[in-house]
Amino acid sequence: MGTRKTVRIGAGQGFYGDTFFPALEIAQKGDVQYISFDALAELTLAILQKDRQKDSSLGYTRDLPIFMRYLLPVCREKGIKLVTNSGGINPEGAMEKVLSVAKQMGMTGLKVGMVNGDDIHPRLDELRTRGVTFENVDTGEPIDKIKDRVLFACAYIGAQPIVDALRQGADVVVTGRVNDAAVFLAPMIYEFGWKMDDYDRLAAGTLLGHLLECSAQATGGNWSGDWWNIPMMERMGYPIAEVSEDGSAIITKAPETGGRVSFDTVKEQLLYEVHDPRRYLSPDVIADFTTATFKDVGKDRVSVTGVRGTAPPKTLKSIIGYQNGWMGQGIMGYTWPDALLKARKADQIIRKQLAMVGVQAEEIYTEYVGWNSIHGPTVPDPGPDAPELFMRIAIRTATREEAERLWRFIPYLGLNGPPFIGGTGGSARARELMGTWPTAVPREEVLPHVRVQVKEVI
């Protein structure tokens, strides 16, 4: 356990594929003790599963070694610890990759920790015999509907095993599917010695983790306010939490970086992906975000105080990924006049031709890019004046071969459909689809199986 009265934690990543430059700037001049990375989402897990199907040694985010190569030299020199959930569905492979990168860089003595046990796929049958139903929390459907198509299954675990890795001296900690805030909360628990039943402090740390987890979304990126006035968006600074022992904090960013930290930018991130702000569920605590107070206290400095929490839920959110068929798609563009009418006619032609040749589509979906592909039915019909639109049609089928039949009807429209095409798109190759099945598992069926391992570069 550390002895600091305050600890500064920087946000290094908000998604798989994020840039490493802001994390490097935080390491260089952010005066932090930790940089934490949130690389995972349900979609990310599906991407990593496809990687693992091609190569069993994969399953972690493939930008992990890039981050490590740039950050480890600076972070080791300054004593900054790194915590990341980039392990995805293969945290063991991620740990070995970090060890390999560190060894190549001559960092003898660097300790890399790994947390696993979130992977419940090998235990699904066992857990069912123990009474876990795995019903879909959104629809109530039984898992029998997909049980023969399951590809991966992860339970969201919390901060405690990361704390254990830090206590064992880890300089870098990689995990699988922990909840997003855990990679930020764990350093606070470790440094301040917070107890796991100190729910107000755990709630404060969870809220801070939520504010930091999406990188520049708290510093003016993706912001719905006067985004055109956000300075230096080409060099956005990611948020830093300066946390006190009581859980109060200042949200700021590294000096001389772009972006803005204000009441409004932080508030907007507070509301992101929050269904019930009075009961924000996590494996460590149920946080009441409505009790928090935000206040501008200086340029690019917002204070966060007053968060309250209660005991965590008895179940852990879990995601089961399953094979959900194949997608074929095609795109055809049309120009003024009557671009929408032409695009709709093209859709009708394709649907009739699919029926004529007996394509077995479980689902057909059409959208018009330039009109309703983002806002759907909420936007008015553009009438005959739309300058250009692209009709995108997609089908979902049980087999790759059936999905790939769609593409044959796209080029045909060039001379056999409405006039003045504006280009084609899509692919003749079908894409495998994965579905996600949200469910809940009793925490006592998962947490005893969580393991922490720490290895040293030699």
Quick one: pLDDT band at residue 95, thresholds 50, 70, 90?
A: very high
Q: Across residues 38-45, what is the average pLDDT?
A: 92
Does residue 199 register a pLDDT over 90? yes
Helix ranges (DSSP H) in 89-178:
91-104, 124-129, 160-167
Query: What are the tokens at 415?
Result: 């001379």
Does residue 427 register a pLDDT over 90? no
Q: What is the pLDDT of residues 254-272, one digit of tens each?
A: 999 999 999 999 999 999 9
The correct answer on CATH 2.60.220 for the domain covering 320-434 is no
**CB burial of residue 415 (10 Å; 0-12, 13-18, 19+):** exposed
pLDDT of residue 45: 92
DSSP letter for each residue of 323-334: EEEEEEEEEEEE
pLDDT of residue 1: 55
Q: What is the pLDDT of residues 125-184, one digit of tens each?
A: 999 999 999 999 999 999 999 999 999 999 999 999 999 999 999 999 999 999 999 999
pTM for the whole thing?
0.93
Quick one: pLDDT band at residue 12, thresholds 50, 70, 90?
A: very high
pLDDT of residue 2: 55
Domain residue extents for the chain: 6-118+157-313, 320-434
Q: Across residues 93-112, what is the average pLDDT?
A: 97
pLDDT of residue 43: 86
**What is the spatial distance between Cα 155 and Cα 447, in angstroms, rounded to a whole number?**
9
Q: How far is CA 78 from CA 3, 257, 332, in A?
A: 17, 20, 54
Residue-averaged pLDDT of the chain? 95
**CB burial of residue 358 (10 Å; 0-12, 13-18, 19+):** exposed
Q: Across residues 349-358, what is the average pLDDT?
A: 97
Percent of the chain exceeding pLDDT 90 equals 92
**What is the spatial distance between Cα 116 and Cα 61, in angstroms, rounded to a whole number?**
15
Quick one: pLDDT band at residue 420, thresholds 50, 70, 90?
A: confident
**CB burial of residue 55 (10 Å; 0-12, 13-18, 19+):** exposed
Does residue 3 register a pLDDT over 80? no
pLDDT of residue 428: 84
pLDDT of residue 426: 76
Give the containing element (helix H, strand E) for 52.
helix 42-54
Does residue 365 register a pLDDT over 70? yes
Query: What are the tokens at 231?
Result: 């300075």
CB count in 10 Å sphere of residue 226? 10
Q: What is the pLDDT of residues 50-79, one digit of tens each?
A: 999 999 999 999 999 999 999 999 999 999
Closest CA to 437 of 157, 88, 120, 153: 153
Does residue 287 register a pLDDT over 90? yes
Q: Across residues 285-301, what is the average pLDDT?
A: 98
Does residue 37 register a pLDDT over 90? yes
pLDDT of residue 422: 81
